[in-house]
């Protein structure tokens, strides 16, 4: 076992042993789109640089855990995953990472100690449950949940009433941008139906849409989180970049089962995305 992998595992074990009598602060990052090349850019944003700037900012918020909801790397390289692993290890925080449509699960599993490449994976956060879902369809931008995943979720939730978060890369609902709405979770309605049946599901956290988003399905919050690099323009019918800077989401999870959340941005971040870009 590598030293950094051992650090991540011991961080998680320390976290698991925490008493749940105080609120838990979870930072969600998403769509880091990292490259093997330290200078690698995505449409004008040096993704390692923006990721490190976000990480420095959120470290000051005293989080208990980091969650990264997919599109971890952009160039399908082992080196980019290794860099992510080493950078996360230096935080000393427990981390959970799920894959997005740009990720390669084999490389994630090899290189990233905190990867959760499984159809359904459960992590305990004090008195809360975090359920990590793999919504990828190999070779496609859009996602879906399989019947087997939905059955597994049903079984898991019927025997476990603790307040619960879902984390998934693709969005389970329309967000008002037709080009994005065509590449969400194709059967997102099935996930929302679970929220109706199991009131312990407090929120579904997702990335993929590169923008802040908040809606509700019954009492369940549907929360999209900005990318740590570039943002898509909200409500745009076609691909278009926004000029908002890199961002993140903070969630505070209270022991009795309610949560508070807010999105933060790196105000004044120096790099500007290529606004004229028509895709990536
Ligand atoms: Fe992305």
Percent of the chain with pLDDT over 70: 92
29 CA → ligand 1 middle, Å: 11
Report how far ligand 1's centroid is from the alpha carbon of 81 (Å).
15
Distance from the alpha carbon of residue 230 to the mean position of ligand 1, in angstroms: 9
Q: Give 14 Cα–ligand 1 centroid separation in angstroms.
A: 31
Q: How far is ligand 1, taken at its centre, from the CA of residue 71, in Å?
A: 5
Q: Which domain holds residue 160?
A: 3-14+25-265
CA trace torsion 118, 122, 125, 127 (10° rounding): 170
Residue 168 lies in a domain: yes
pLDDT of 157 higher than 70: yes
Q: Worst-scoring range by mean pLDDT, 3-7, 110-114, 125-129, 221-225?
A: 3-7
Residue 270 lies in a domain: no
19 domain-assigned: no
Centre of ligand 1 to C-alpha 208, Å, is 5
Contact 140, 198 (CB under 8 A): no
CA 276 to centroid of ligand 1, rounded, Å:
18
**CA–centroid distance, residue 225 to ligand 1 (Å):** 11
> How high is the pLDDT of residue 279?
81
Confidence of residue 2 (pLDDT cuts 50, 70, 90): low
Across the range 9-28, mean pLDDT stands at: 70
Distance 242 CA to ligand 1 centre (A): 14
| Dist. CA 255 → ligand 1 center (Å) | 32
In a domain, 20, yes or no: no
| 205 has a pLDDT exceeding 80 | yes
The mean per-residue pLDDT over the stretch 124-129 comes to 94
Is 104 a domain residue?
Answer: yes
For the chain, the average pLDDT equals: 92
Residues shown for the chain? 280
Distance 178 CA to ligand 1 centre (A): 16
CA of 229 to the centre of ligand 1 (A): 9
Per-residue burial over 81-93, b = 16 or more CB atoms within 10 Å of its CB, e = otherwise: bbbbbebbbebeb
CA–centroid distance, 73 to ligand 1, in Å, is 9
On the question of pLDDT at 83 being above 70, the answer is yes
Query: Which tokens is 163 given?
Result: 């307040």
pLDDT in tens, 230-244: 999 999 999 999 999
Whether 222 is in a domain gets the answer yes
Is the dihedral angle over the CA atoms 253, 255, 256, 257 positive or is it negative? positive
Burial of 223 (0-12, 13-18, 19+ CB in 10 A): buried
Distance 158 CA to ligand 1 centre (A): 32
Instruction: State how far Cα 276 lies from the chain centre.
Output: 27
171 within domain boundaries? yes
Domain with residue 76: its CATH number is 3.60.21.10
Residue 251 lies in a domain: yes
pLDDT at 1: 47
> From ligand 1's centre to the CA of 88, what distance in Å?
19
Q: Are 81 and 103 in contact (CB under 8 A)?
A: no
pLDDT (average), residues 253-268: 97
31: CA distance to ligand 1 center in Å?
Answer: 4
CA 33 – ligand 1 centroid, Å? 7
Domain count, the chain: 1
């Amino acid at each position: 076992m590598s030293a950094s992998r051992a650090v991540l595992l011991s961080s998680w074990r320390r976290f698991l042993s925490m008493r749940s009598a105080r609120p838990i602060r979870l930072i969600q990052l998403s769509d880091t789109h990292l490259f093997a090349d330290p200078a690698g850019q995505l449409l004008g944003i040096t993704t390692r640089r923006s990721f490190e700037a976000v990480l420095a900012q959120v470290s000051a918020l005293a989080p208990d855990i980091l969650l990264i909801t997919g599109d971890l790397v952009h160039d399908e390289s082992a080196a980019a995953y290794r860099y992510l692993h080493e950078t996360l290890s230096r935080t000393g925080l427990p981390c959970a990472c799920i894959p997005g449509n740009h990720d390669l699960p084999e490389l994630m599993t090899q290189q990233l100690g905190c990867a959760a490449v499984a159809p359904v994976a459960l992590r305990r956060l004090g008195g809360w449950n975090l359920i990590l879902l793999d919504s990828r369809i190999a070779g496609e931008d859009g996602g879906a949940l399989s019947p087997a995943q939905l059955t597994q979720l049903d079984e898991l939730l019927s025997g476990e009433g603790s307040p619960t978060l879902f984390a998934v890369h693709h969005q389970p609902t329309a967000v008002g941008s037709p080009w994005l709405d065509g590449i969400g979770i194709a059967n997102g309605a099935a996930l929302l139906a679970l929220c109706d049946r199991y009131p312990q599901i407090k929120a579904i956290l997702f990335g993929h849409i590169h923008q802040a988003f908040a809606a509700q399905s019954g009492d369940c919050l549907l929360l999209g989180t900005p990318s740590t690099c570039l943002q898509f323009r909200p409500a745009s019918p076609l691909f278009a970049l926004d000029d908002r800077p890199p961002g993140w989401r903070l969630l505070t999870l209270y022991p009795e089962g309610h949560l508070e959340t807010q999105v933060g941005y790196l105000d004044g971040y120096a790099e500007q995305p290529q606004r004229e870009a028509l895709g990536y």
